[in-house]
A and B are shown apart, each in its own frame.
Chain A
Amino acid sequence: MQTTHEMVVNLGPQHPSTHGVMKLEVVMDGEYIVDCKPVIGQLHRGMEKMAEGMLYGQFIPITDRLDYLSPACNNLSYCLAVEKLLGIEAPERGKYIRVIIAEMQRIANHLVALGSWGLDLGAWTILLYTFRDREMLLDLFEMFCGQRMTLNCFRVGGTTYDLPDGFVEKAREFLEVIPSRINDYEALLTKNPIWMTRLRDVGVVSAEDALAYGLTGPNLRASGVKWDLRKVYPYEVYDRMQFDVPVGSRGDCLDRYYVRIQEMRQSCRIVQQALDQLPPGDIMVDMPTIALPNKEEFPNNFPEVVRHFHLLVQGYAPPEGEVYLGYENPKGELGFYLVSDGSGYPYRLKIRSPSFINMQIFPKIMRGAMLADVIAILASFDPVLGEIDR
């Protein structure tokens, strides 16, 4: 009698399509997938433990390393959580600057997602085009805060720097260019027969499944659930911005692609409006217990020096309690759960990272798919391993 055996295929940990050091143990029956098990943790750095030994302000550069493709959004999310714990709000101009940078970061993130997705499916050109356009954004970030990838540009209670001269003009130049570039990507991909065949009806996630498995961000919206934290809990100045929330209908990979493309256009709209409305004023909250003093006053103002040292050695002590704040990161809902015991160090910090939770649904949707679809599905969820493993 003929007998067949299932075979285990290890995708990764160094497979170029795995978006980082992730391993997928795929059980195959012929070309079809019987089971799939994500093996993660190769990039685990113990960030939550690190946070317990750091002042609130010291942890901000570490959050850059979470989702290293959208550091500004991570910074913003963390700062908002600490601000919620402290019960403060950034000044107007600070809020606008944060929104401008965070939305630019969202475009940059989706550009990488799109480029690497194309690369995974064999479309090399799209990667070159998206990275060319992301370069303009990275230049803007470098102009703003001096770093291209790990920005560390926001502080609790405001931003580090004000926008430099020429930033607004350069940002407007970018906004003029990018819509035609997005049209180019669409001409290359949206109706491309190969792209359609690879993505349509592959990795279908129903709306009920998406909610039950805790999907967030573009992956949830592609399944037809209209849920965007920027609309629901309008933090910062999102309530003054006009933008649409694109949703998909079928919940397959093609919808996830289409939602990301539309989100880039909406982000452009938000940046445009924020640049138009940008008010003058302070960028840092005016509270002596939180904001660092002005260094120029130091030679003849000794109490300010003492305050400077006090803030940096002991930090600011939020009241006892616990908060959770979720923020609409490009990949989904990035949330920080903070427990304060009244000292300058967080007692416990939990990072609710979107990619980690989004990954749970893989075994469910990959069952019955083909091996080649694994790569398409994986890329369509746009996971980043820095965030999964923390």
Chain B
Amino acid sequence: MNLCEIGRELERRYDGLVRVVQENPDLVVEVAREKLLEVCRFLKDTPDFEFNFLIFITAVDRVDYLEVVYCLRSMSNFRQIMLKVQVPADNPEVPSLTGIWPAAGFDERETYDLLGVRFSGHPDLTRILLPDDWEGHPLRKSYPVDKRPVRTY
């Protein structure tokens, strides 16, 4: 099974909830928010897929909405796949993957810190790179780049 077939297999299995958005150079699959955990478990545990390694989690601010990106790798079949979940910009919330891959912990904290995506079910969702009292999420496109935060001590 090559990468494109994986994408089509996923589309067939989760009809209408999974959509292949890019095949070259990397396979990118868009997943509905409520199916994320199920798709991840399926990709991890099914013998032909075996995406057992979580490479990174991040998010992209598309102004109207946010995209949470998950990159998975199959170490036995030498493949990688990217999953994308669209979430609304005013209420970005996705289920946490820490139960499946403990490696998600720091990346989810970082995504929360820099982009404001909340991961429900994360054991310790606090800011990681910025101070706890920081205001705003710097990697949002609406965050001003030419201003310094006003600190009142």
A-to-B contact residues, CB < 8 Å: 40-41, 44, 46, 48-49, 53, 84-85, 87, 211-214, 225, 227, 232-233, 321-324, 326, 333, 335, 337, 339, 347-348, 350, 352, 356-357, 359-360, 389-390
Contacts and interface: CB of A to CB of B under 8 A. Distances in A.
A130 B55 CA distance: 32
A211 B128 CA distance: 22
Interface size class of B (residues with CB under 8 A): 35 or more
A199 B75 CA distance: 29
B130 A326 contact: no
A356 B110 CA distance: 10
Contacts of B82: 322, 324
B55 A214 contact: yes
A39 to B, nearest CB: 9
B145 interface: yes
Q: Of B75, B101, B129, which is in contact with the most chain A CB atoms at under 10 Å from its CB?
A: B129
Interface string B126-148: 01111100000011000101000
Contact of B25 (A84, A212, A227, A360): A84
10 tightest Cβ-Cβ pairs between the two chains A and B = A214-B103, A41-B129, A352-B56, A350-B58, A44-B129, A348-B60, A360-B106, A212-B102, A213-B103, A213-B102
B107 interface: yes
Given A227-B75, A360-B102, A49 B130 contact: no
B139 A49 contact: yes
Mostly, the A contact residues are: mixed
Given A321-B22, A322-B22, A337-B58, A232 B78 contact: yes
A46 B138 contact: yes
Nearest to B104: A214
A5 B127 CA distance: 28
A48 B130 contact: no
A359 B61 CA distance: 27
Contacts of B28: 322
A339 B60 contact: yes
Contacts of A347: 60
Given A40-B128, A53-B145, A335 B106 contact: no
